[in-house]
Amino acid sequence: MVLLIVGFTLIFGVVHLYKHEHKKDKFDSVSKVHGRKIPEHIHVDYNNQIIYASNDADGEIDGLVALHNYDKKMLAFKDLTNGRCYIDVLDETFEEGLTFWSAQEGKERTLVTRYFRYIREPIDLDVLRTFAGQHIADHCAGVPSHWIVVISKEEAERQEKSANGKTVQFICRPNYECPKCPTDVFPVTSTEKPVKPGLGGSEINPIKTSV
């Protein structure tokens, strides 16, 4: 199974699209996975400063909708195939995200591999709403949500050898100079984020991410 994580990136030299009288709110791009072209669909909610990025399920590719909440600085990857949400911080501005996605329209993106792990204990809905906001709480309603933590490839390989959990590949757009993303073993930055308090256990899986 491959989960296409269409995410975010840190953009320099931001172009402010607000200068345009008519703001475009839909963009399409493509990621190549195992030689196959997977369409990605982007929708921009200007009023709430939210960007959605999604792809349909296609064979071994899992369906995904990623919600980037720039007001709350939080990101939610909803795996439509396996019924799970992965929650991470968002280290970019709405203008940066808008600039990136508009620039990707009609383009194909290359993939690199990143790693991360998710905290096995699901996030309480009230806690999710408090930290990530109502939009993400609604986005992830009906499925378990999990915090994710960035790890190195070496740590992922060590834990994978001793774990019985499944290996999940993700394809995503990291938003850090040290790329980061989510998974059972997700892509992550070289600097590991602190684990949220009150959560036990975790699962690890390797992932592929687009850059």
Residue 78: pLDDT over 50: yes
Q: Are strands 36-45 and 26-33 parallel, antiparallel or unpaired?
A: antiparallel
Distance CA 153, CA 6 (A): 20
Residue 6: pLDDT over 50: no
Confidence bin at 112 (pLDDT 50/70/90): low
Residue 165: pLDDT over 60: no
Residue 73: pLDDT over 50: yes
More confident residue, 8 or 5: 5
Using a CB cutoff of 8 Å and minimum separation of 24, what contacts does 81-84 make? 81/1, 81/3, 81/57, 82/1, 82/3, 83/142, 83/143, 83/144, 84/143, 84/144, 84/145, 84/146
Lowest mean pLDDT among 33-37, 99-103, 127-131: 33-37
Which strands, in side-by-side order, build the sheet including 169-171?
61-62, 2-4, 169-171
Q: What is the average per-residue pLDDT within 19-46?
A: 80
CA–CA–CA angle 183, 187, 188 (5° rounding): 110
Q: What is the average per-residue pLDDT within 102-118?
A: 75
Query: What local confidence, expressed as pLDDT, does residue 124 receive?
Result: 95
> What's the chain's average pLDDT?
70
Q: How far apart are the first and last CA of the chain?
A: 20
Q: What's the token pair of residue 95?
A: 């203008």
Q: What are phi and psi of 186, to 5 degrees?
A: -105, 165
Distance CA 185, CA 156 (A): 7
Query: What local confidence, expressed as pLDDT, does residue 120 receive?
Result: 84
Q: Chain centroid to CA 51: how far?
A: 12
Percent of the chain with pLDDT over 90: 30
**b/e burial code for range 127-158 (CB count within 10 A of at least 16 → b):** bbbebbbebbbebbeeeebbbbbbbbeebbee
Query: What local confidence, expressed as pLDDT, does residue 177 receive?
Result: 31
